[in-house]
Amino acid sequence: MAINVDCVFDARAATGEGAIWSQARAGLWWVDIPAGRLHLHTPSTGENAVWEFGRPIGCAAETRSGRVVVALTDGFFELDAGSGELTALGGPAPGTRGHRFNDGAVDPAGRFLAGTMPLAGGLAEDTSGTLYSLDGDGTVAEVMGGFHVINGMAFSPDGRIGYISDSFPSLRTIWAWDYDADGAVWSNRRVFFDTRAVAGRPDGATVDADGCYWMAGVSGWQLVRITPDGKVDMEIPMPVEKPSKIAFGGPDLRTMYVTSIRMEDDPEQPLSGGLFALEVPGVTGLPATLMDR
């Protein structure tokens, strides 16, 4: 099946990531990690608003009150997008440990989960990557550690399964856990999918309305759809080597938005670092979960 992939914004982002659809704003939040920028892309107008923080941003979450919580190298902060006011919420300062936040997601109970990776990059032999949670009242907890590069966080439609991947080249695995959202308990870890079976390593992900897990196949020029029982049923070629995060958006949640990583001076992928959009017949997404704050 041939799928048309369009570049909707030639952003030339160093590391585009963190895409989440805002139903309230009818736009896509996304980040450029090393540039320390949060973007809001509005498809109906083509406008792309930017907030700059002066240090790397890993990921973001929209709140029920309409604000945005961002995970920066010096902790969690709440942004009033209208005024630009940034309020510290506390939490870990991964920059002081040689880390930065990377991938994140909001769990079914409205907690913001964000994981770290070494500032040295995703190729470092370092398993100190850590997952943290931020509750609506500002409480921060360390959830689990032992990762190289935390990525691919997502939840099944019923919220009972949580997914996390590690993009480290010698590992490149996606795991599944049983998840108790009420108690924030992760249990029964098992391998969901070993990405050595496909070209790309696991990067940012989402789950569609059928419960299938969509993986951005970084370094593989592809998106991969994996069924709930861990089988590949679709691989979609991308015009860039390093797609990095997938989010469903649009009024009917049928449009897949994909961020990417810039590959300078590569004539085969002049649009790398851009924001892309595509639709897959018969596939729809789920609304982004809002942080309970």
The catalytic residues are 203
Distance CA 256, CA 250 (A): 9
- The neighbouring-strand residues paired with 187 are 178
Cβ–Cβ < 8 Å for 165, 189: no
Task: With beta carbons less than 8 A apart as the criterion, state whether 60 and 31 touch.
Answer: yes
DSSP 4: -
CA 200 – CA 237 distance, rounded (Å): 11
d(CA 192, CA 75): 30
In angstroms, rounded to a whole number, what is the distance separating the alpha carbons of residues 76 and 218? 27
Tallying the residues shown for the chain, one arrives at 293
Strand order across the 140-147 sheet: 99-106, 112-118, 129-134, 140-147
What's the chain's Rg over C-alpha atoms? Answer: 17
Please write down the HEC assignment for all residues of 90-157. Answer: ECCCHHHHCEEEEEEEECCCCCEEEEEEECCCCCCCCCCEEEEEECCCCCEEEEEEEECCEEEEEECC
Tokens of 250: 């649009």
CB-neighbour burial class of residue 180 (10 A; exposed 0-12, middle 13-18, buried 19+): middle
Is 198:213 a contact under the CB 8 Å cutoff? Answer: no
